[in-house]
Chains A and B, each alone.
Chain A
Amino acid sequence: MQTGTDYMAQATNAVIAPFNWLGGLFVAFIRELGAIAIFFTHAFCLIFSLPLQVNKTIQQIFFIGAKSILIILLVGLFTGMVLGLQGYYTLVKFGSEGVLGAAVALSLIRELGPVMTAIMIIARAGSSMAAEIGIMRISEQIDALDTMDINPIRFLVSPRIVASLISFPLLTAIFNVIGIIGGYLSGVCLLGINSGIYFYRIESNVLMQDISGGFVKSLVFGIIVSTICCYQGYFTHMRPGGFGAKGVSLATTSAVVLSCVLVLIVDYVLTSFLL
Chain B
Amino acid sequence: MTAPLIELKNVTKRFGNHTVLDRLNLTVFEGDITTIIGKSGGGKSVLLKHIIGLLRPDEGDILINNKPFKEMTRKEQTQFKRQTSYMFQNNALFDSLTVFENIALPLREKTRMREDAIKSKVMAKIDQMELSHEVIHKYPSQISGGMQKRVALARALITEPKIIFFDEPTTGLDPLRKNAVLGMISHYQKKIGFTALLVSHDIPDVFFISNRVAIIDNGRIIFQGKPIELEQSENPVVHDFIRGQINLKDDLTGLNTKQEVMDLLIQEMDRANRLQANFPVIMFTIDNMTQINKHVGYITAQRIVQCLSTLLKEHFGAAGTSARFSQNEILMVLPHTDIKEAEKDLNELAVDLQKQEIFQAKSYPKACLSFSVSAGLSEAKQGTDTDSLIGQALSNQKIIAHVECIKQGETA
Residues of A in contact with B (beta carbons under 8 Å apart): 132, 135-136, 139-141, 143-144, 146-150, 155
Residues of B within 8 A of A140 (CB): 88, 90, 92
Write the B79-94 contact mask toward A (1 if CB under 8 angstroms, else 0): 0011011101010111
Residues of B within 8 A of A144 (CB): 86, 88, 92-94
Contact B85 A147 (CB under 8 A): yes
Contact A143 B109 (CB under 8 A): no
Which of A132, A146, A150 interacts with B106 by CB under 8 Å?
Answer: A150
Contact B86 A139 (CB under 8 A): no
Contact B110 A147 (CB under 8 A): no
Among residues of B, the one whose C-beta sits closest to the C-beta of A144 is B92
Excluding A140-B92, A143-B49, A143-B88, 10 further A-B contacts by CB distance (< 8 Å) are: A132-B96, A139-B92, A141-B95, A144-B93, A144-B94, A146-B54, A147-B52, A148-B85, A149-B78, A150-B109
Contact B54 A149 (CB under 8 A): no
Residues of B within 8 A of A147 (CB): 52, 54, 81, 84-86
Provide the bound-state CA to CA distance between A100 and B52, in Å.
65
Contact A143 B54 (CB under 8 A): yes
Provide the bound-state CA to CA distance between A132 and B96, in Å.
9
Residues of B in contact with A (beta carbons under 8 Å apart): 49, 52, 54, 78, 81-82, 84-86, 88, 90, 92-96, 105-106, 109-110, 159
Contact B110 A150 (CB under 8 A): yes
Provide the bound-state CA to CA distance between A140 and B48, in Å.
14
Which of B82, B84, B86, B94 interacts with A141 by CB under 8 Å?
Answer: B94
Contact A148 B54 (CB under 8 A): no
Residues of B within 8 A of A149 (CB): 78, 81-82, 110
Provide the bound-state CA to CA distance between A48 and B139, in Å.
31
Among residues of A, the one whose C-beta sits closest to the C-beta of B80 is A149
Secondary structure call for the B interface: mixed
The residue among B78, B81, B92, B95 with the most chain A CB atoms within 10 A of its own CB is B92
Provide the bound-state CA to CA distance between A5 and B84, in Å.
63
Provide the bound-state CA to CA distance between A139 and B90, in Å.
8
Residues of A within 8 A of B96 (CB): 132
Residues of A within 8 A of B94 (CB): 136, 141, 144
19 A–B contacts from the bound complex (CB under 8 Å): A136-B94, A139-B92, A140-B88, A140-B90, A140-B92, A141-B92, A143-B49, A143-B54, A144-B86, A144-B88, A146-B54, A147-B52, A147-B81, A147-B84, A147-B85, A148-B106, A150-B105, A150-B106, A150-B109
Which of B81, B82, B95, B106 interacts with A139 by CB under 8 Å?
Answer: B95
Provide the bound-state CA to CA distance between A140 and B54, in Å.
11
Residues of A within 8 A of B95 (CB): 135, 139, 141
Provide the bound-state CA to CA distance between A140 and B49, in Å.
12
Tell me the smallest distance from the CB of A153 to a CB of chain B, in Å: 14
Provide the bound-state CA to CA distance between A178 and B201, in Å.
63
Residues of A within 8 A of B105 (CB): 148, 150
Provide the bound-state CA to CA distance between A136 and B159, in Å.
22
Provide the bound-state CA to CA distance between A213 and B105, in Å.
42
Contact A148 B110 (CB under 8 A): yes
Residues of A within 8 A of B159 (CB): 148
Tell me the smallest distance from the CB of A230 to a CB of chain B, in Å: 15
Tell me the smallest distance from the CB of B217 to a CB of chain A, in Å: 25
Provide the bound-state CA to CA distance between A149 and B75, in Å.
12
Residues of A within 8 A of B84 (CB): 147
Provide the bound-state CA to CA distance between A150 and B105, in Å.
10
Among residues of A, the one whose C-beta sits closest to the C-beta of B77 is A149
Residues of A within 8 A of B81 (CB): 147, 149
Tell me the smallest distance from the CB of B199 to a CB of chain A, in Å: 15
Among residues of B, the one whose C-beta sits closest to the C-beta of A53 is B109
Residues of A within 8 A of B90 (CB): 139-140
Tell me the smallest distance from the CB of A52 to a CB of chain B, in Å: 13
Residues of A within 8 A of B110 (CB): 148-150
